[in-house]
């Protein structure tokens, strides 16, 4: 694949290709792509679905154990008392969870790394 073909896939943050460029297809940084600039496998929110399923199974298992064990103190009742709220907490935490916050250099409104370095040198009289 030629450099020109691969470059159209990315939004350039500066005048030349760099690892901070974002992909037009998946939105990830250039550094997250393979050697042939192919997008990484799997959806970016795939782990979220897994956590929701795990939380639902844990909460359902806890509710069933709690119903079967009754109110008498036993090991199953203790396990249910831990599993049910644990599953609910996992579901709520997964729904509330946001993606990683972008670093200041990755934000659209933040300064690019080259600009920040140039301003630092200029402000300190080194340029």
Q: Which pLDDT score is estimated for 87? A: 93
Q: Decide if pLDDT at 100 tops 60.
A: no
Q: Decide if pLDDT at 111 tops 60.
A: no
* Residue 82 CA: distances (Å) to CA of 47, 62, 63, 87: 23, 7, 10, 9
Q: Which pLDDT score is estimated for 98? A: 63
Alpha carbon distance 85, 82 (integer Å): 6
Delimit the domains of the chain by residue range: 1-39, 46-96
User: Which helix or strand (DSSP H or E) is residue 11 part of?
Assistant: strand 10-11
Distance of CA 82 to the CA centre of its chain: 28
Dump pLDDT digits (tens) for 28-76: 777 777 777 777 765 555 677 888 899 999 999 999 988 888 777 888 8
Please count the residues of the chain.
127
């Amino acid at each position: 694949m030629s450099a020109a073909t691969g470059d159209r896939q990315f939004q350039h943050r500066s005048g030349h290709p760099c690892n901070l460029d974002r992909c037009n297809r998946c939105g990830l940084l250039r550094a997250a792509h393979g050697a042939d600039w192919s997008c990484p496998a799997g959806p970016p929110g795939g782990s979220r679905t897994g956590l929701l399923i795990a939380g639902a199974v844990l909460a359902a298992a806890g509710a069933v154990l709690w119903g079967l064990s009754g109110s008498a103190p036993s090991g199953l009742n203790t396990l249910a008392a831990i599993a049910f709220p644990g599953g609910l907490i996992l579901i709520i935490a997964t729904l509330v969870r946001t993606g990683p916050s972008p670093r200041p250099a990755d934000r659209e409104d933040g300064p690019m790394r080259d600009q920040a370095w140039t301003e630092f040198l200029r402000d300190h009289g080194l340029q």
